[in-house]
A = this chain, B = another copy of it.
Amino acid sequence: MTPGSRDRVSMQQPSPILVYSIYRSDIPRFERLLAHALADVSVHCASSPEEAAPYLDEAVILYGWGFPPELPQRMPNLRWLQKMGAGVDEIIERWPLRANVILTRTAGKLIAPRMVEYVLGAILDRTLRFDAARAQQHQRQWEFFEIGSIRDLTIGVAGVGEIGSTVAQMLRALGARVLGWRRRSELASSAVDELFAGIDELPRFLGACDVVVLVLPLTKDTKNLFGADLLAHCRPGTHIINIGRGGLIDEDALLASIAAKVVGHATLDVFATEPLPPEHPFWDNSHVTITPHVCGPLVPEDIVPHFLANYAAFASGRPMQNVVDLERQY
């Protein structure tokens, strides 16, 4: 360290950072990216509570996801928690820590592209009937079948924030008719063909869709929102895709709706309990596609620049991006 850089550090009052990701393979990537950009800052990485323990006293900043919800409460100097990911429900439940701790989440625009790809892949897997093709291939059988098209679908996007709007726009570019639903009726959306708003309009929204994509945050208003009453309004054969939070859906009600041949298929990346317990009935339901929350964890290279921008704002006392509204809970 040169005298010059030491001066600079001292001027900026660098805040020690604890990085936490349960995916151990990401740690070297975070270390490399942050060491390069924040050479003079104390950065420690952990992927378990034990690894994090030595740094809880010192750290002023917690940047991560997947840590035990009570971890931030054991950090006396914490002043900023930057969540990796858009969902902060599990943190909000323990909030507030102290009045001077800021909670920020990852910008939707950084997460939207992989959400778009997941939704497209989930829809195309059904419309192209890849399952039928696999079954035929397994039996060395060639029999033509007619495939569907996104152009013939009405797709509902529940949650038309930054992520939902991007999903909606790509689906429209592919020719789908896209309906949007959002909780608050005072907000318009140009991303969809028709916008529904408020709880009262949810039944009509669901009844108009061939595919329903859930991109909502989990809050006190959305927990178990999609239960038996609402699912009964779905069209027979509806394809539900959940990339929001598992807690949005009453999982027993979903299974009952599938058994009643109302919901035709569910492609789920998120679950009320993760990891999904081995005894859960989803596992061997042929109308459920399970992916292990692959949409959520973010690629370090994608999100670190956003963190660094917020770090610069934090260090200089300027307003930060994507500060969580504690009243709305997202």
By CB atoms of chain B within 10 A, which of A129, A137, A293 has the most? A137
Q: Are B125 and A125 in contact (CB under 8 A)?
A: yes
Chain B residues, Cβ within 8 Å of A275 = 142
A42 on interface, CB distance cutoff 8 Å: no
Chain B residues, Cβ within 8 Å of A140 = 278, 283-284
CB within 8 Å of B: which A113-157 residues: 113-114, 116-118, 120-121, 124-125, 127-130, 133-134, 136-137, 140, 142-147, 149-151
Contact residues of A: prevailing secondary structure = loop
Q: 5 new A-B pairs (CB below 8 Å) besides A114-B149, A117-B127, A147-B295?
A: A23-B146, A113-B174, A117-B150, A117-B174, A140-B283
Other-chain residue from B125, B133, B297 in contact with A144 (beta carbon distance below 8 A) = B297
Q: How far apart are the CA atoms of A297 and B121 in the complex, in Å?
A: 22
Other-chain residue from B121, B137, B276, B297 in contact with A142 (beta carbon distance below 8 A) = B276
- What are 20 contact pairs spanning A and B, CB under 8 A? A25-B146, A113-B149, A113-B151, A113-B174, A113-B175, A116-B174, A117-B124, A117-B149, A118-B147, A121-B124, A121-B128, A124-B124, A130-B291, A133-B290, A133-B291, A137-B283, A137-B289, A142-B276, A147-B294, A147-B295
Count of chain A residues with Cβ under 8 Å from any Cβ of B?
48
By CB atoms of chain B within 10 A, which of A127, A142, A290 has the most? A142
Chain B residues, Cβ within 8 Å of A136 = 290, 292
Chain B nearest Cβ from A150, distance in angstroms? 6
Other-chain residue from B23, B114, B173, B175 in contact with A147 (beta carbon distance below 8 A) = B114
Q: How far apart are the CA atoms of A291 and B146 in the complex, in Å?
A: 11
Q: How far apart are the CA atoms of A25 and B145 in the complex, in Å?
A: 10
Chain B residues, Cβ within 8 Å of A150 = 117
Q: Are B144 and A23 in contact (CB under 8 A)?
A: yes
Q: How far apart are the CA atoms of A276 and B117 in the complex, in Å?
A: 31
Closest to A22 in B: B144
Q: How far apart are the CA atoms of A145 and B170 in the complex, in Å?
A: 25
A274 on interface, CB distance cutoff 8 Å: yes
